[in-house]
Amino acid sequence: MGLTRRDAIKAGATAAVAAPMVSKSGEAAETKPPAAASRPDAKVRETLLLDFDWHFHFGHAADPAKDFGFGADLDTFAKAGSGVTSAADPDLKLADWKALNLPHDWVVELPFVPSANPPPEPAEDVRAYHGFKPVGRQFPETSIGWYRKSFELPKSDLGKRLVLQFDGVFRAATVILNGYVVGSNASGYRSFTLDVTDFANYGGKNVLVLRVDASLGEGWFYEGAGIYRHVWLHKLAPLHIAPWGVWAKSSLSGNSAAVTLATDLVNDGPATKARIVSTITGPDGRVVTTLKSPELTLHAGEKRTVSQFVSMPQPKLWSPEDPALYHLRTEIEMKGKVIDDQITSFGVRSIRFDAEKGFFLNGKPVKIKGTCNHQDHAGVGSAIPDSLLDWRIQKLKEFGSNAYRSSHNPATPELLDACDRLGMLVMAETRRMSSDEESLADLAAMIRRDRNHPSIIMWSIGNEEPQQTTERGARIAFTMKEVCNALDPTRPITAAMNGVASWGKGICAALDVMGANYHIENLPEFHQRMPQKPLIGSETASTVSTRGVYVRDPKSGYCVAYDTEFPSWASSAETWMRAAMTHSYISGGFVWTGFDYRGEPTPFNRWPNVSSQFGILDTCGFAKDNTYYYKAWWGSEAVLHLFPHWNWTVGQKVNVWCHSNLDMVELFLNGTSLGQRKVEPLKHVEWDVVFAPGKLEARGYKNGQLVLTAVRETAGAPAQIRLSCDRQALKGDRADAAMVAVEILDAQGRLVPDANNLVRFKVEGAGAVIGVGNGDPRSHEADKADSRAAFNGLCAAVVQAGVAAGALRIEASSPGLQSASLSLNVQPVPPRPSL
C-alpha cells in the first residue's frame, strides 16, 4: 500500500524521527560516513537534489486570469489530475518565466515600497517590521510565486517509491505533479515530504509545479518568500526507512554512553522479511559497532519502529570546542542484500540546567554565550546558500559565541548541520505557540527532523505570546510539552517570556527552563521568587548601533556604534554581560541579535529605514565595534579594539573607547600620552579627546607587559579598492558561495571611514555575483545587482561558483579609484546527484 498524501501529512504530525535524510553525496568527505557494507548491494535509495533549472513566474492573489487560471472556476478540485492550472500544462511556453536555481527568495528581488501613509507619517509603521517590501495581501501581484521544473524519470523507476522532500517553502505551498495536486503545506518553516509514486511519468517527462502563496505572513520580521531551502527526490524500495526515520538517542552515564537506535520502517510492498543492520562509526572514522536485528516479518502496508541498543564505553564527547560526531549507517537487509540505507550523524553529550548553577555540558558548567538570529543575509535574503550558513556560524564563533537561537522558527537543516560540525549550541524554536492540530504537527515535524543534532540543547515552544500568563496559555503549553517529551524526552523545553510581570506565571509552569526576554535588572528578583526554576536570557542586551557611525543624529536614521543606545525594554551589552557572567543561576542567554536583519529598523520604525540595527554584526557580517566587546569577554584571545575612526574636525571633542580584556590601556595622540585607564572586568575604557589629525594609538598591557597596540590614523581621500575573501577556493558545484569584502582605502592603504563610492563587480570564469550588500540599514539599493555603494568604507558581494573548474576572477572598480581583483580557485567536485 502506498504512502498516501494524507499519510504523508499525518506522518509529519505523528511519526518518529531524525537528522537530514540521507547521504547528500557531495558532503561525504566532511561527514565521514561509515564505509558501505560488504554485503551485496541491491540498494534502491537514491537521493537527488532538485535545486537546479527551475522557472519562476509571479501569479496573482486576486485575479485568476493572471494566476494561471488557478481557481478561475469553482471546479478547480473537481477532478483529480486536470483543470487545476495552466501552469502545469506540459507544453507551456516558458519564454516569460525566469530561469533560476534554488534556494530562491523572491522578496529580496522586489523593490522597496515607501509607506503609503499620508504625512504626517506615524512614529511607527507596521510595514517597517517586514522591511517595506511589496508582499502581503495589499500586493496581490507580487505575493504569489509559481515554480516549475521538468525532469525525466527512467522506466526502471517503476516499482520504486518516489518521495519529494521540501525543506522549506514560504509559504502555503500547493504542489502539483503532472497536473495532480499531490499535497499542500501551510507553514513556511516546516520541512515536508510527499509520496508521488502514483503520479510520476515513468520513462518520460515530469512537470513539477508549486504555487506558493505569501499573502499571509507568520512573523513580525522579514520572512522572504519562495522555495528558499533545498528540494530532494528520494527513490526508495517498497520497504524503506521512513522520512526522518532514524533516531540515535544517546545518554551518558559515568564513562559510558547508552545509545538507543529507533528505525522507522515503511513497507509499501507485499509482506516480506528483513533485518536492520546499524553500523556506528566514531569521530576517528573507526567502526564502533555493528548491530543486527533479528529477521523481522513485515506485513503489506506495515509501519514499524525497530529498536536497537548499544552501550559505548568511553565515548568521545561532543562540545563546542571539540564537536565530535558519530555516524550511523542504517541498512535494511533483505535476503542478504542491502535494499536501503541512510546515514545519520549524532553526538554524545550530556546536558543539564541547574536552577542555582546554570547550564552544564558533559558535567561541566558552561555559560551560554548566545545570539538570536533570523535567517536573512545581505544579497540573498532568506535563500542562504549552505556555505554561507556555515560562514555565518563561523563569524559568530569568531567573537566567542557558543550558542545560537533560531528565532523564531525551525532552522534550515544545513544550518543545524553546521552547528553540529562547527560546535555551536542551539535553542531550536517552533513558529506558532498553539496546540491546534496543525501547530502541534509543525512542532512534531521539527523535533522528528532535528532531534539527532547534538548541538540542540532545548526546544522553545514560543516567544512573547499574548497568552503567556493565562490559564488557557498554560493548557496549550502543557499540551505542547507532551508532544516534545513524547518525541524527545532528552531535552528540556523553554519559551521566551516578556514583561517582568509575566515571569513565573501561566505557561511558566510547563517550562523546564524559564526564558526571560530582557529586563535584566529583574532577574535576581525572579530567582529569589522561584529559586527552583532554571533561568536563561532568551533575548538579552540589544544595543542598537550602526557600523561606523559615532555621532547621534536621529534625523539620519542611524545609531551610534558605542554601546550606549538600546530600546526601553533592553540594555547595553555591558549591563547584560555584568549580570549574566557573574550570576551562576543565569545560564547565560541569547543577545538580540548576532546579525542585523531586514525589517524592524528599531528605533526608527518608519520609512526610509528598512533594516534592524540590533546586530553585533551588520547584514553583511561586517563587525560593528561591539563585536570586540563580546570577543574580549567571551573569547579566549587578548583583545584591544580602539574606536572611533580618526577623521574629525580639528578641535572637535571625540569620545574614544577601547574594548579590551587586558589590564590597562594607555592612549596616545601623535605620540603624547592622554592617560592610562585600568580595565575593569566586563567594561570598556574611554577618554574624551580633542581631535587633531594624525595617529591615535592605544597600548594594552597585561601584568605590566605590552601585549597589543591598536592604531587609528586620519585617512585621506578615497584612492583605491581592496578586495578580500576568507576562502581561496570554491567547490564547483553550482552552490558553493563566499563573501567577498570591499574596503575603500586612501592612497596610503587606510580605510576611508565615510567612503560611499559606488563599486561595480565583474566576474570572469566559473561563477557569478548572486547578491550585494553594504550593511546600511536605510539603503534602498537592489540586492540583486552587480554594483553597490560602499557604506562607511565597506560593501560586499556574495559570489557563487558554477561548475567549470578554474579561476574565478572578481574585479571591483569605481570611478576615480584604483580597482582591485581577486581570484578564487573553483575546484572540480563530483557532481551532486541531482535532477
Q: Give catalytic residues, as residue numbers.
A: 464, 539
Cα Dmax for the chain: 88
Residue 602 engages ligand GAL in binding (rule: CB under 6 A): yes
Within residues 150-169, the interface with ligand GAL by CB under 6 A covers none
- The 186-225 site mask, x for binding ligand GAL (CB under 6 A), equals ----------------------------------------
Q: Is-cis flag, bond preceding 103, omega within 30?
A: yes
Question: Which residues ranging from 232 to 261 are in contact with ligand GAL (CB under 6 A)?
Answer: none
Q: Which is nearer to ligand GAL, 361 or 458 (CB)?
A: 458
Question: Does 371 engage in binding with ligand GAL (CB under 6 A)?
Answer: no
Closer CB to ligand GAL, residue 412 or residue 498?
498
Contacts of 533 (CB under 8 A, 6+ apart): 355, 504, 508, 511, 513, 514, 526
Q: How many residues bind ligand GAL (CB under 6 A)?
A: 11
Q: Residue type at 260? A: T
Q: Does 503 bind ligand GAL (CB under 6 A)?
A: no
Nearer to ligand GAL, 83 or 136 (CB): 136
| Binding flag, residue 264, ligand GAL (CB under 6 A) | no
Instruction: Pick between residue 77 and residue 569 the one whose CB is nearest to ligand GAL.
Output: 569
In the chain, the amino acid numbered 441 is A
What are the Cα distances from residue 155, in Å, to 3, 197, 205?
21, 13, 11
| Residue 285 Ramachandran class (φ > 0 left, ψ -120 to 50 alpha, else beta) | left
We find the least distance from the C-beta atom of residue 498 to ligand GAL, in angstroms, to be 6
Q: Which lies closer to ligand GAL via its Cβ, residue 131 or residue 753?
A: 131
Is 461 or 820 the residue whose CB approaches ligand GAL more closely?
461
Annotate 23-39 with b (16+ C-beta within 10 A) or e (fewer). bbbbbeeebbbbeebee
Shortest gap between Cβ of 755 and ligand GAL (angstroms)?
A: 30
Other Cβ atoms less than 10 A from the Cβ of 349: the count is 23
Q: How many CB atoms lie within 10 A of CB 784?
A: 14
Length of the chain: 835
Output 187 or 538, the one with its CB closest to ligand GAL: 538
Within 8 A by CB and 6+ apart from 155, the residues are 202, 203
**Residue 592, interface with ligand GAL (CB under 6 A)?**
yes
- Least Å distance, CB 339 to ligand GAL, is 46
Shortest Å, Cβ 373 to ligand GAL? 11
Q: Does the protein bind ligand GAL through residue 499 (CB under 6 A)? A: no
**Other CB atoms within 10 A of residue 776 CB:** 28
Query: Contact between 464 and ligand GAL (CB under 6 A)?
Result: yes
8 Å CB contact between 361 and 390: no
Residue 592 vs 629, nearer CB to ligand GAL: 592
CB 413, CB 446: distance < 8 Å: no
Residue nearest to ligand GAL (CB): 464
Which of residues 177 and 513 has its CB atom nearest to ligand GAL in the complex? 513
- What angle do helix axes 386-398 and 413-422 make, rounded to 10 degrees? 40
Q: Using the 8-state DSSP alphabet, how is residue 451 labeled?
A: T
Whether 161 contacts 46, CB under 8 Å: no
The distance of closest approach from Cβ of residue 473 to ligand GAL in the complex, given in angstroms and rounded to an integer, is: 16
**Taking the complex as a whole, how short is the minimal distance between the CB of residue 163 and ligand GAL, in angstroms?**
35
Q: How far is the CB of 463 from ligand GAL (least distance, A)?
A: 5
Here the cell at position 645 is: 575612526
Report whether 276 contacts 293 (CB < 8 A): yes
CA of residue 118 relative to chain centroid, distance: 37
Residues 498, 540, 609, 834: which binds ligand GAL (CB under 6 A)? 498
The cell numbers describing 420, all together, are 553540529
Q: Report the C-alpha gap between 755 and 547 in whole angstroms.
A: 13
In whole angstroms, how close is the CB of 602 to ligand GAL at the nearest point? Answer: 6
User: Which residue, 371 or 787, has its beta carbon nearer to ligand GAL?
Assistant: 371
Rg of the Cα atoms in the chain? 27
- Output the smallest distance, CB 374 to ligand GAL, in A: 8
> Does a cis peptide bond (omega within 30 degrees of 0) precede residue 371?
no
Residue type, 331: E
Give least dist CB 431 to ligand GAL, A. 12
Between 128 and 348, whose beta carbon lies closer to ligand GAL? 128
The 10 Å Cβ neighbour count of residue 384 is: 27
CB of 779 to ligand GAL, least distance (A): 20
User: Would you give the DSSP letter of residue 617?
Assistant: B
Q: Out of 213, 268, 600, 743, which residue is the one contacting ligand GAL (CB under 6 A)? A: 600
Site track 545-574 with ligand GAL (rule: CB under 6 A), x = hit: ----------------------x-------
Q: What share of the chain is helix, strand, coil (3-state, %, to 5)?
A: 15, 40, 45
**What x-and-dash track marks residues 402-421 binding ligand GAL by CB under 6 A?**
------x-------------
281 or 407: CB nearest ligand GAL: 407
539 lies in the site for ligand GAL, by CB under 6 A: yes
Burial annotation 422-439 (CB, 10 A radius, 16+ → b, else e): ebbbbbbbbbbbbbeeeb
List all residues 6 or more positions away from 197 whose beta carbon is below 8 Å from its beta carbon: 2, 3, 160, 161, 162, 163, 268
Q: Contact between 463 and ligand GAL (CB under 6 A)?
A: yes
CB of residue 500 to ligand GAL, shortest distance in Å = 13
Alpha helices, H only, 585-738? 626-634
Judged on CB neighbours under 10 Å (0-12, 13-18, 19+), 365 is middle
Q: Quick check: 314 and 256 in contact, CB under 8 A?
A: yes
CB 192 within 8 A of CB 9: yes
Smallest gap from residue 464 Cβ to ligand GAL (A): 5
Which lies closer to ligand GAL via its Cβ, residue 144 or residue 610? 610
Who's near 35: CB < 8 A, 6+ residues apart?
A: none
Site of interaction with ligand GAL (CB under 6 A): 408, 463-464, 498, 517, 539, 542, 567, 592, 600, 602
